[in-house]
Structures are given as structure tokens and as C-alpha cells.
Amino acid sequence: MERRRTVDQVVEAYAWWVLRWRWPILILTIVATVLAARGGGFLTFSTNYRAFFSKANPQLATFEALQDIYTKNDNILFVLAPEDGQVFTGTTLNAVEHLTREAWKLPYAMRVDSVTNFQHTRADGDDLIVADLVTEALNQPPEALTEAQQVALREPLLLDRLIPPATHVTGVNVTLQLPGKNLAEVTIAAAKARQLAAEIREAHPGMAVYLTGVTMLNNAFSESSRRDMNQLLPIMYLAMLIIMFWLLRSISGTVATLLVIAFSAAGAMGLAGWTGLSLTGPSAQAPTMIMTLAVADSIHILVIMLREMRQGLGKREALVESLRLNMQPVFLTSLTTAIGFLSMNFSDAPPFRHLGNITATGVGLAFVHSVLFLPAFMSLLPVRVKPCDTASWPMIDRVGEFVVRRHRAVLWVSAPIVVMLALWIPRNELNDQFVNYFNKSIAFRTDTDFAMENLSGIYSIEYSLGAADSGGISDPAYLAMLEAFTKWYRAQPGVVHVNTLSDTMKRLNKSLHGDDNDWYRLPEERELAAQYLLLYEMSLPYGLDLNNQITIDKAATRLIATLENVTARELRETAARSEAWLREHAPASMFTHGTSPTVMFAHISERNIKSMLRGTTIALILISGLLIVALRSLKYGVISLLPTWRQAFWPLVSGVSSWGRSISACRW
């Protein structure tokens, strides 16, 4: 009791000190906030998906090792849908040729693939002719276009990748080499691609053009985040303004609370800018979270102040009394909330660590402004209240009295309801489908849905399959194993296309035997296969070579499996099965881990669950200790923690073996 009086006396003394020095406090807090907020000018927005992965991430290391060997595969896929549903007509193929030519001019474009510039091989006596499948489509007779259609439908490198069996749509894939020197590279490429799509629609009436691909996915993340910040924040501020005025019935209190929120959010974001941080989709949500959390501190202090003024106290005395009553609960709320957000530093994804740190900083600033700036500012503003001896919220008082009076009945009714709801926790599953992150009002979502339904998937798994020695990819044994792996992959559920060198080698063998279909098989001699490959490479034009598929020393080839809109779990399982197949059937030199941006994101989801569970455990232990010490009662401390502990650890108690199904445990 003596200790309580001592704490109250300290808080009262502090409150009177704030009121006495209100002008210097106001000036210093405003100056400090302005200085901190100036760091916001250094904030940048990263559109590179690599920002989601730490340097120690094993999937990122595997992916970068593959891209160091081959060309990068950031891409934009144009999907053309003619109004008549026929691709192999002069009009449509002319549009494809037009788009193919112009796509080479896109920023950072290093390769363009389409049905028209596909390097078709055919025999002419003893010569190998390599040429575009279609040229000058408007001048070609229908018979030539029909033959080109038949070739495309027989070609594994085109079918279900750039042309579907129904031939009602087609794709033009642009591979980009982003240098990574400019944060706006993705935005620039996406804007130019949209401009080109608009030009194609205008030049070729009746032609629908859809845009998807990894680059458009990255751009959609950044655009959605910016749109949310520009649209949702003003709406939230307006809604909060209305609700606060309705609750407080005080213009000065509403203005003061808005300033506390704005100072907290601006200070936290500015401090993040001073540290050189780049915002991403998750971390860009920090202002919204800070706004939601910051309002509570001010409301607590203002509600008690207004209540005391209605009961007869002067404004300054009411402020002192409000701080005396609220200092400890507001401090504990802010501290425990900050601990919860700081536990996000256990995440394997840097953007979530940034989100936790920025929000925790904002929560801390909200507490400081609430107990320093707010009382100093309110002491200067006029506050009018009507004297009232009764409670301002009789309905809430009646609810509280009912709970106290009927506490046993409330407990026995609510406990079974909580248990029944908790039984559904194991049904939560980690079901990441990156395309589904976006609402159907966003162009990327609708364009990608169309592409996956009509042409091909956008998810991929890539492999660099090594041979035993330099030039070993021409070894018949290597090619046979590559072909076996390709056949296995094509039989897997969800796989729509496999891009592999073995298909090219079979086509070359056929072409160099007079286009006899009986020779559509792998060469049986290493020297012959090497000669085929050399002859083919020498015949390819610049930009359409095999550098994206084979290494310079011919010691490894790249295999790319394209999948439909599968879940993160299904993607991980497919990659795991493929690696198991390689371990069991292929020589050691061919074994590799499957990789790609989608594989990386599929693994980061699982890694985040494990790391966040560790962070949640530590946060709960710290919060437990704080509440027990603050309440000075083990019993009340444990009781106050029961809902949090039960929500966090119920999936573990119920024996859930899948980390993915326990994602709800991360929400402490």
C-alpha cells in the first residue's frame, strides 16, 4: 500500500511537472518529431522479391547460384487473345510479330520468345535449316500457316508454354535482365510493358492483351501497397476522426489525439528512413498498425480526464488524476505490445522484421507523446464539459455490473464456447497461392487468372543438372537420364510444361535425318550429339541462343518445370519428390535442389512459422513475467495470460504435426 502511494506521488509530481513546463515540452516534442520525420524523405520502396529473403536463406543462395550460371529469368508474359479465337491466321500472327519486334525494345529485355520467332529446324538435303517459324504472316498462304500450327502443336518447347492445344490464345515471353542498381527498375519495365500492350490493342482491333509474369507480380505488390497507403490511410483517419469525436464529444480532445497519432506514425517512419530501410509490402503497413495502436493511449487518458471534469475537477487537476490512474496500465500496454512486435525479429523474412521494429518504435513514441505532449497540449486548449454526477456510458456500466454479479454463469457459458471455437484451430492450413494475394479488382490478378486458365501456369521449379565432366551434356547416358527425369516430371500432378534440352536434341536428331519421325529420339553417340549441338548453336540468331539453357563448358543444363496455380505446400512437395527421384535414379553429378522465386516463397512461409513460434514463446514468457510483477500476484497474472497462452499453443497441445496448419499460432 505504501509502495502504491509512492508510485502515485511520483506520477502526480511528474504530471504537475509536465503542466508547469508545457511550452518547452511542446516545442521540444514538435522539433524532435519534425527532425525524426525528415528521415521519411530517405525511405525507398523495394519492388525486388529478394527483399523478402535474408542473406543466410538457403533457398536464396541456391537460386542465386543458378542465376550466376545461366541468364536471369525475371519475365513479362504477354498473352494475346484474338476475338475470333484463332491464333494461326495472318492477322493474329502479324500482331504477334509486331509485339515480338517491339518487345525487344522494352527496358532490360534480353530475350523475346514467341511462336513466330521460334527457331524451327528442318532438313534441306544434308543441310540443317534454322529459321523463324513464321515470318511476314500477312503474306503467307493459309497452307503455310496451317503447317506452322501443326509444327507448334508437335513442339514440346511451345505446347502449353506459348501455345495451348486449342490454339485460341498465344504468349510472347520477354526475359529481363534487371541490373539491380535502380529501385524503380521493375516499375519502369512494367509501365513500358503496359504502354506496349495498349499500342498493340490500338494497332490490332479485336486483340485482347493480358500481362503477367514475375516482374508484373513484383510490380503488383508495390502498386497494391502504395494504393493502400494512399487510399486506406485517409479513409482510416476520417473514420477514426468521426469515432473519436463521437466518443469524446470534444473537438480539442479529438485534435490532440490525431496529433499524437500523426506524430507517432511520422516519427517511426522517419526513424526507419534515417536507418536506410527500404519499404516493402508488409513494412508499408506499419503506419496503419501504429495508428490503430496509438489511439488507445490517448483515448484512455482523455476519457478519464473528461470524466473527472464532469464530476467537478478543474482541467489541470483532471489531467493529473488521469495520468495517475492511467500511467501504469498505458505503460504496460505499450510495453507488452512493443514486445509482441519485436518478437517478429525472429522471422526469417526481413520485411516482417522491419514491420515489427517500425511498429514497436511507433508504439513507444505513442506512449511518450500520450504522457508528455498530450497533457501539455490539452492544458492549453479550451475544454468544455457539462457537469454530470452519473456515468457517461450507463450501458457499459450495466454490462460490467452484470458480469461481476453473474460471473460464475458467464464463466460456465463462455468457457465451452471458447473451447469449441479453439477446436477448429487445427483446420487452419498454410495455403499460400501468391496470385490470390490480390483482389480481382487488380489487373494483375485478372490477367494472371486468364493466363493460367487459357495458356500456362506462372509458378516454376528450376534445376541445374550437372554432367560428369566438361561437354558431358552430350553423353548419351546423361541425355537418357535427363529424358527420364523429364518424363517423370510431366507425369506429376499440377505440372503443365517442362522445358528441357532433351526435347531439342531429339528434334535435331530428327531434322538431321531428313525429318524422319522415326529418328525423333536421342542421339546414341556423344560426338554426334556434340556436333548437333554445335551446328544448332551456330545457326541461332543473337538473343535466341542457348545461354539460358546450357553452361558455357557444356557441363550442365537447365530444366524448368511450370506448374498451375498450386499451393505453397504442393509446390514444396513437388520439389521434394523431384529431389528424391534424383537421389534414387540419377548420378551424384546430376543431383540438385529445385529452386525459383516461387519455391523460395513457398519455403519462407514454412520457415517463418517455425521462427515466429520461437519468437512467440519468448514474447509470452516476457509478457508473463511483466504482468505477474506489475500485478504483484501470480494468480491474477496467470489468469490474465490464459487467453493468450491458449490461443498461441493450442495447435501444439492438440498434436498438430504440420507447421503450416499452425499458422494461427503466430498471431499472439
pLDDT at 442 over 80: yes
Q: 388: pLDDT confidence band, cut at 50, 70 and 90?
A: low
Same domain, 187 and 256: no
Same domain, 127 and 100: yes
Please report how the helices 286-310 and 214-248 are oriented relative to each other, as an axis angle in degrees rounded to 10: 0
pLDDT at 661 over 50: no
Same domain, 145 and 231: no
Stronger pLDDT, 387 or 67, i.e. the higher one:
67
pLDDT at 236 over 80: no
Same domain, 206 and 338: no
Q: What is the CATH number of the domain that holds 267?
A: 1.20.1640.10
- Residue 308 forms part of a structural domain: yes
- Residue 296 forms part of a structural domain: yes
Distance CA 353, CA 53 (A): 11
Last residue in a domain, options 212, 229, 253: 212
Which H helix or E strand runs over 211?
strand 207-212
Residue % of the chain over a pLDDT of 70: 91
| pLDDT for 79 | 97
Distance CA 226, CA 214 (A): 19
**Alpha carbon distances (Å) from 631 to 404, 525, 627:** 20, 82, 6
Alpha helices in 423-497 (DSSP H): 443-454, 476-490
Average pLDDT over residues 341-359: 88
Please report how the helices 407-422 and 634-653 are oriented relative to each other, as an axis angle in degrees rounded to 10: 30
DSSP 328-395: HHHHHHHHHHHHHHHGGGG-SSHHHHHHHHHHHHHHHHHHHIIIIIHHHHHTTS-------SS-S-HH
Distance CA 440, CA 288 (A): 23
Residues 6+ apart with CB under 8 A from 152: 88, 115, 118, 133, 158, 159, 163, 167
pTM value? 0.78
Residues linked to residue 170 through DSSP beta bridges, in sequence order: 80
Stronger pLDDT, 38 or 285, i.e. the higher one:
38
Question: Is 471 strand, coil or helix?
Answer: coil
| pLDDT for 566 | 85
Distance CA 58, CA 575 (A): 15
Distance CA 370, CA 382 (A): 18
Task: State how many domains the chain has.
Answer: 3
Same domain, 144 and 155: yes
Report the candidate in 142, 134, 203 with the shortest Cα–Cα distance to residue 170: 134
Report the candidate in 512, 528, 587 with the shortest Cα–Cα distance to residue 556: 587
- How far from the centroid of its chain's Cα atoms is residue 14's Cα? 45
- Residue 60 forms part of a structural domain: yes
For the segment 121-170, what is each residue's pLDDT rounded down to a tens digit?
887 776 788 899 999 999 999 999 999 999 999 999 999 999 999 999 99
Same domain, 39 and 165: no
Average pLDDT over residues 549-560: 93
End-to-end CA separation in angstroms for the chain: 33
For the segment 299-313, what is each residue's pLDDT rounded down to a tens digit?
888 888 888 888 888
Same domain, 299 and 279: yes
Distance CA 353, CA 526 (A): 52
- Residue 606 forms part of a structural domain: no
Amino acid at 15: A
Last residue in a domain, options 595, 616, 645: 595
Average pLDDT over residues 381-393: 66
- Residue 433 forms part of a structural domain: no
Q: 644: pLDDT confidence band, cut at 50, 70 and 90?
A: low
| pLDDT for 82 | 96
Alpha helices in 141-184 (DSSP H): 142-154
- How far from the centroid of its chain's Cα atoms is residue 327's Cα? 38
Same domain, 235 and 367: yes
| pLDDT for 271 | 94
Same domain, 187 and 249: no
| pLDDT for 641 | 62
SS3 assignment for 365-380:
HHHHHHHHHHHHHHCC
Question: Is 110 strand, coil or helix?
Answer: strand
Q: 439: pLDDT confidence band, cut at 50, 70 and 90?
A: confident
Same domain, 178 and 103: yes
pLDDT at 643 over 80: no
Q: Which residue has the cell 524448368?
A: 560
Quick check: 572 and 603 in contact, CB under 8 A?
yes
Residues 6+ apart with CB under 8 A from 181: none
Q: 95: pLDDT confidence band, cut at 50, 70 and 90?
A: very high
Distance CA 641, CA 199 (A): 61
Report the candidate in 159, 136, 158, 121 with the shortest Cα–Cα distance to residue 90: 136
pLDDT at 3 over 70: no
Q: 237: pLDDT confidence band, cut at 50, 70 and 90?
A: confident
- Residue 399 forms part of a structural domain: no
Grid cell, residue 255, equals 485534435
DSSP 163-174: B-TT-S-EEEEE
Distance CA 195, CA 205 (A): 16
Q: 25: pLDDT confidence band, cut at 50, 70 and 90?
A: very high
User: What is the average pLDDT value for the chain, to the nearest integer?
Assistant: 85
Q: What is the CATH number of the domain that holds 195?
A: 3.30.70
Domain span holding position 368: 1-72+221-384
Grid cell, residue 250, equals 470534444
- Residue 603 forms part of a structural domain: no
| pLDDT for 367 | 94
pLDDT at 460 over 70: yes
| pLDDT for 636 | 67
Q: 662: pLDDT confidence band, cut at 50, 70 and 90?
A: very low
Q: Which residue has the cell 508547469?
A: 20
Same domain, 232 and 148: no
| pLDDT for 655 | 34
Report the candidate in 362, 360, 333, 320 with the shortest Cα–Cα distance to residue 344: 360
Distance CA 641, CA 147 (A): 73
Where are the extended beta strands (E) located within 10-141?
Answer: 44-45, 74-82, 109-113, 119-124, 127-132
Residues 6+ apart with CB under 8 A from 438: 220, 224, 444, 445
Distance CA 576, CA 556 (A): 21
Average pLDDT over residues 261-283: 89
Q: 667: pLDDT confidence band, cut at 50, 70 and 90?
A: very low
Q: For the chain, what percentages of helix, strand and coil (3-state, to nearest 5) are there?
A: 65, 10, 25
| pLDDT for 393 | 57
Quick check: 623 and 456 in contact, CB under 8 A?
no
For the segment 36-55, what is each residue's pLDDT rounded down to a tens digit?
999 988 888 777 777 888 88
Least confident of 386-390, 502-506, 539-543: 386-390
For the segment 590-636, what is each residue's pLDDT rounded down to a tens digit?
999 999 888 888 888 777 777 777 777 787 777 777 777 777 777 76
| pLDDT for 637 | 66
**Exposed, middle or buried, 464 (CB in 10 Å: 0-12/13-18/19+)?**
buried
- How far from the centroid of its chain's Cα atoms is residue 57's Cα? 16
Length of the chain: 668
Q: 666: pLDDT confidence band, cut at 50, 70 and 90?
A: very low
Stronger pLDDT, 434 or 78, i.e. the higher one:
78
| pLDDT for 659 | 31
Q: Which residue has the cell 558431358?
A: 472
Quick check: 157 and 499 in contact, CB under 8 A?
yes
Q: 652: pLDDT confidence band, cut at 50, 70 and 90?
A: very low
Torsion of CA 336, 340, 345, 348, to 10 degrees: 170
| pLDDT for 430 | 60
Last residue in a domain, options 193, 212, 231: 212
- How far from the centroid of its chain's Cα atoms is residue 385's Cα? 48
Quick check: 613 and 322 in contact, CB under 8 A?
no
Same domain, 363 and 257: yes
- Residue 414 forms part of a structural domain: no
For the segment 169-206, what is each residue's pLDDT rounded down to a tens digit?
999 999 998 887 777 888 899 999 999 999 999 999 99
